[in-house]
A and B are shown apart, each in its own frame.
Chain A
């Protein structure tokens, strides 16, 4: 079945460091890919998305490129801030239908220290 694999956390970085959170997927067809962020005590927020190969999603300084050849969608940010501390989830939607529930990775906790 479809699945998403994220790097194990927690990830601890100093402020202004470069961030990469790895995400790889297994799916039939051509899925849409998403990154969600969850701040402490809150629900998930859609951070960015990409719907076809080579698309780059970006938001709030975060970027991720849909790499079909490596089945990956790694999240990157050039300079993290303390306010980026959160749990990040990679997800996919395998079919071109919103009726299909998303498949989520297990999440990666990021802690940014000043």
Chain B
């Protein structure tokens, strides 16, 4: 069966510090991968998605970036965090020939 991992689970970072969030998927090959952000009490905002290694589509221009160095690894980064980057970050995957996305447990980021 497939599983998706995210770490860390929680993170408190000062403004201006760098960020690296990691997501890995097990039990499937060549998944589509997604990063979402959920601000407090708000809906989901799609940040990035990837259909293959090195292929990243950005949905929202901002100070975040994403990379896919391996088939089942997706990394969300920032060089300098802003207060507005606080939120709940969710990674998801889907199999290309199917429709559903499956979500990880999320990372709660607080920028202070």
**Chain A residues within CB distance 8 Å of chain B:** 32, 34, 36, 41-46, 49, 51, 89, 93, 97-99, 101-102, 104-107
User: How many residues on the B side are at the interface (Cβ–Cβ under 8 A)?
Assistant: 26
What separation, in Å, do the CA atoms of A34 and B98 have in the docked complex? 13
Of B43, B49, B51, B105, most buried by chain A (CB within 10 Å of CB) is B43
Pick the contact of B43: A42, A101, A102, A105 (CB < 8 A): A105
**B109 at interface, CB cutoff 8 A:** no
Pick the contact of B106: A43, A101, A106 (CB < 8 A): A43
Contact A89–B43 (Cβ < 8 Å) = yes
**B32 at interface, CB cutoff 8 A:** yes
Question: If A104-B44, A105-B43, A107-B43 touch, does A99 touch B32 (CB 8 Å cutoff)?
Answer: yes
**B90 at interface, CB cutoff 8 A:** yes
Contact B51–A104 (Cβ < 8 Å) = no
Contact B100–A101 (Cβ < 8 Å) = no
Closest Cβ–Cβ distance, residue A38 to chain B (whole Å): 8
What separation, in Å, do the CA atoms of A51 and B98 have in the docked complex? 11
Pick the contact of B96: A45, A99, A101 (CB < 8 A): A99
User: Of all chain A residues, which has the CB nearest B43?
Assistant: A106
Known: A34-B99, A43-B103, A99-B96. 14 other contacts (CB 8 A): A32-B99, A34-B100, A43-B6, A43-B92, A43-B104, A43-B106, A44-B103, A46-B100, A49-B99, A89-B43, A98-B95, A98-B97, A102-B101, A107-B44
Closest 4 pairs (CB-CB, A-B): A43-B103, A106-B43, A93-B99, A44-B103
Can you show 28 pairs from A to B with CB atoms below 8 A apart?
A41-B106, A42-B105, A42-B106, A43-B6, A43-B103, A43-B104, A43-B106, A45-B103, A49-B99, A49-B100, A89-B43, A97-B96, A98-B95, A98-B98, A98-B99, A99-B32, A99-B96, A101-B34, A101-B46, A101-B59, A101-B101, A102-B101, A104-B43, A104-B44, A105-B43, A106-B42, A107-B43, A107-B44
